Amino acid sequence: MELRPVVKFTEHLVTTSKLIDHRHPTKLRHKAVRIILTDGDATDSGDDEGSGRIFVRRVKRHVEEVNFKSDVPKQRRTAKQSEFPIFRQDLSTAMGDEENQNEVKEVKEEAGDIAPFDPTKKKKKKKVVIQDPAEDEAVDNLAEKTESLSVSDGPETSFAGLKKKKKKPVHTDLLSDEKENLGDDLDDIGEDEEGEGIVLQQYPWEGSDRDYEYEELLGRVFNILRENNPELAGDRRRTVMRPPQVLREGTKKTVFVNFMDLCKTMHRQPEHVMTFLLAEMGTSGSLDGQQRLVVKGRFAPKNFEGILRRYINDYVICNGCKSPDTVLSKENRLFFLRCEKCGSGRSVAPIKAGFRAQVGRRKAGT
Amino acid sequence: MSDFDVQTPTAFDPFADANAENSDAGSKDYVHIRVQQRNGRKSLTTVQGLKKEFSYNKILKDLKKEFCCNGTVVQDPELGQVIQLQGDQRKNVSAFLVQAGIVKKEHIKIHGF
């Protein structure tokens, strides 16, 4: 068929047979007559009216089929489906049935039109949920409206033209009023938003003679400060660490790829970071040729991230000013952390591996 | 002089931490709960640094019963006795120890990923 699957298409076939006398050959050229009426806006009886569920466009084709049978029992029973299109063509042209022709054409048109309208389907759904889905037409109109507002005017016009054929004029008039109202509303909203955008630039106390509030003034000061010399505004530029990239080497080893990178961003010796990582994870590991950290065991990037977070808290961040701009130095067997920003220093605990249980096979000798 | 005036009113006592820790149990008295990976998805939890006065075996017995896992007390030459439990029981152990009043929450350090 030529209809797209977006549309729910149903066909109702009513077949009647009529006996004709074969001894008086009439001018009948056809053995069967089909009267086809395609309803583009069919509704399922009461189904989508009240419930407001997913809106499916339904197209119903009502087919009245009249078979003319002669007395002679040998009768050509047509295979309906295969011959259908040809038949219909014949019928509509031969019979000169204006309505039928129109209908058929319209269906074709609509089939062409419906497909590009797919995006509106979703909108229709939404609208149905919000709006009281009293009438299909109303919903349709709303959908059209939203479509025209949000996307463009092009498809709307063509669609509307097609719509108007079917709709009762009273309805369209009423609804067009509604349409306009809705459009106005939407326009208003748009304007309001723009207006707010402008208002943001000014100060809230302007135009009124009330007292300034502390928060407002503070905000003003900071805005000015940020505009003129941003480095004084106290906006702490955050040092962003990239997430650890982790590969699996075989099944039992994990490779921490950007280990060196992260060490550099933290300004720490890779050896120190490595000992901390290994102690925390309770495994062994080493740096490989490309300066990646190879760790025994299976670890997710998340695990590394957690441990690195702890490392930064313990060994990188300055306690006084929370700045990561610090130097770790070793003075007679004790590690000291000195902040480059505020100059404060503190001692940090040495890394201790702690207890490591015997895991895996013991040597045969012991 | 003005500097001094500014600094004195703060209620910050620089020795508060040290005093508290010294009075309590000494700054080194953390209980470390670690996890170790074994083969496959198995793991091992070790609890190290519990006070010597506690009976490790009794604690172990309750831990085993509570978490339905096996475990043992191993004697380490440097660290003394260490409790080992099967599986990743870090959260369980720390909750248990705090709830039983064996250790304070501030003195538990959970290691591992």
Per-residue pLDDT, A183:
44
Q: List all residues 6 or more positions away from A78 whose beta carbon is below 8 Å from its beta carbon.
A: A31, A32, A87
Q: Give the model confidence (pLDDT) of B15-36 as tens digits.
A: 655 544 444 444 567 889 999 8
User: Residue A242 region, left (φ>0) first, then alpha (ψ -120 to 50), else beta?
Assistant: beta
Q: Where residue A107 falls among pLDDT bands split at 50, 70, 90?
A: very low
Q: Give the model confidence (pLDDT) of A126-162 as tens digits.
A: 443 444 444 444 444 444 444 444 444 434 444 444 4
Mean pLDDT computed over B91-106: 90
The larger pLDDT score, comparing residue A230 to residue A151, is at: A230
pLDDT of residue B77 exceeding 60, the answer is yes
Q: Are strands A32-42 and B108-110 parallel, antiparallel or unpaired?
A: unpaired
Mutate to test the interface with A, among B17, B36, B78 (most CBs of A within 10 A): B36
Per-residue pLDDT, A49:
45
pLDDT of residue A59 exceeding 60, the answer is yes
CB contact under 8 A, B79 and A297: no
Residues of chain A contacting residue B84, judged by C-beta atoms under 8 Å apart = 357
Per-residue pLDDT, A332:
87
Cα(A167)–Cα(A147) distance, rounded to whole angstroms?
19
The larger pLDDT score, comparing residue B112 to residue A5, is at: B112
In this complex, how many residue pairs, one in chain A and one in chain B, have their CB atoms less than 8 Å apart? Answer: 50
Positive or negative torsion for Cα B99, B103, B108, B113: negative
The larger pLDDT score, comparing residue A156 to residue A219, is at: A219
CB contact under 8 A, A355 and B38: no
Pick A282's closest partner by Cβ from B36, B79, B82. Answer: B36
User: Residue A250 region, left (φ>0) first, then alpha (ψ -120 to 50), else beta?
Assistant: left
Question: Which residues 52-91 of chain B have a CB within 8 Å of chain A?
Answer: 74, 76, 79, 82, 84
Annotate B33-53 with b (16+ C-beta within 10 A) or e (fewer).
bbbbbeeeeebbbbbbbbeee
* Bridge partner residues of B37 (DSSP): B43
Per-residue pLDDT, A34:
79
Where do the H-state alpha helices sit in chain A? 47-50, 80-95, 98-114, 118-130, 136-150, 154-166, 169-201, 214-228, 259-266, 270-281, 301-311
pLDDT of residue A214 exceeding 80, the answer is yes
Q: What percent of chain A has pLDDT over 70?
A: 48
pLDDT of residue A339 exceeding 50, the answer is yes
pLDDT of residue B61 exceeding 60, the answer is yes
Q: CB of A186 within 8 A of CB of A149?
A: yes
Whether ipTM exceeds 0.90: no
Q: Give the model confidence (pLDDT) of A3-42 as tens digits.
A: 444 567 777 788 877 776 666 655 656 677 778 888 777 7
- The residues spanned by each domain of chain B are 30-110
Q: Give, in words, the CATH class of B30-110.
A: alpha beta
Q: CB of A304 within 8 A of CB of A246?
A: yes
3-state SS class at A321? coil
Residue entry with tokens 């702690």: A354
Pick B34's closest partner by Cβ from A282, A298, A304. Answer: A282
Q: List all residues 6 or more positions away from A364 whose beta carbon is below 8 Å from its beta carbon.
A: none
Cα(A346)–Cα(B18) distance, rounded to whole angstroms?
13
Cα(A334)–Cα(A349) distance, rounded to whole angstroms?
8
Q: Give the model confidence (pLDDT) of A239-286 as tens digits.
A: 677 888 899 988 889 999 988 988 988 888 898 899 999 988 888 899
